[in-house]
Amino acid sequence: MEAEIEQIGKRVLDAPVGYVEQTISEIIKKPVYLKVVEQNSISGTKYLRKIVIGHDKFPILRANVKFDSKNIPTSVMTAILQKRESMGRILRSNEIVAQRRTTSVTLDPVASTVTREYEILCNDLVWFHVSEEIRLDFLRACKDG
C-alpha cells in the first residue's frame, strides 16, 4: 500500500507545469477546485500567493508561490491579480512555455506528505518560486472514496 501511495505522489510530482490540477483530478477521478487563499505584495514588486487544490473538504495540495512582478509580462500579471486561475493555467492561456526546476523533494511516510520546492522558469529567467505540500493520505482517500 505504501508503494502505491508513493507511486500516486510521484504521478503528481511528474505532472507538467500547468497540469497539476488536471493530474490530481485524473488520479482521484473526481473534479478538484483551486482556491487562492491569499495573495499579497510582500515588498515592492514581490508577491506571495497561497493556494489550495482539493476535492470536497480535502485540501490535497497546498502551495506558496513567490514571484516578482517586474519579471512577468503585464498580461500574465493581470491574470494573476484576478486570483481566479492557477499559475500554470495562466501561462498556458498566454502560450508561455515554462520549465520546472526542482530544488528539493521530501517524502514523510509518517505524516503521509510529500513536500517539494521548485522554480518555474521562462527563457532561463525564474518567474516563480514554489513550495508545496501534497497530502498523500487525502489524495488516497479521495481516490478510494
Positive or negative, the CA dihedral 20, 24, 26, 27 is positive
Under 8 Å CB-to-CB from 44, ≥6 apart: which residues? Answer: none
**Res. 52: pLDDT tops 70:** yes
Domain harbouring 98, CATH code = 3.40.1410.10
pLDDT value for 1: 44
At 145, is the pLDDT very low, low, confident or very high (cuts 50, 70, 90)? confident
CB of 57 closer than 8 Å to CB of 33:
no
Residue found under cell 480535502? 58
8 Å CB contact between 27 and 64: no
Which pLDDT tens digit goes with each residue over 54-90?
Answer: 999 999 999 999 999 999 999 999 999 998 888 888 9
**Number of structural domains found in the chain:** 1
Q: How far is residue 35's CA from residue 83's CA, in Å, rounded to a whole number?
A: 8
Q: Read out DSSP for 48-95?
A: EEEEEEEETTEEEEEEEEEEEGGGS-HHHHHHHHTT-S-HHHHHHHTT
- Per-residue pLDDT at 42 exceeds 70: yes
Say if CB 131 and CB 106 are below 8 A apart.
no
Q: How many CB atoms lie within 10 A of CB 18?
A: 20
pLDDT of the residue at 44: 92
25: containing domain:
2-144
Task: Please state whether beta strands 113-122 and 99-108 pair in parallel, antiparallel, or not at all (unpaired).
Answer: antiparallel
Per-residue pLDDT reduced to its tens digit, 1-40: 455 556 777 888 888 888 899 999 999 999 999 999 999 9
Q: What is the pLDDT of residues 93-122, one digit of tens each?
A: 999 989 999 999 998 888 889 999 999 999
**Structure confidence at residue 5 (pLDDT):** 57
pLDDT (mean) for 32-52: 95
pTM of the model: 0.89
Q: Which three cell numbers stand for residue 57?
A: 473538504
pLDDT of the residue at 4: 56
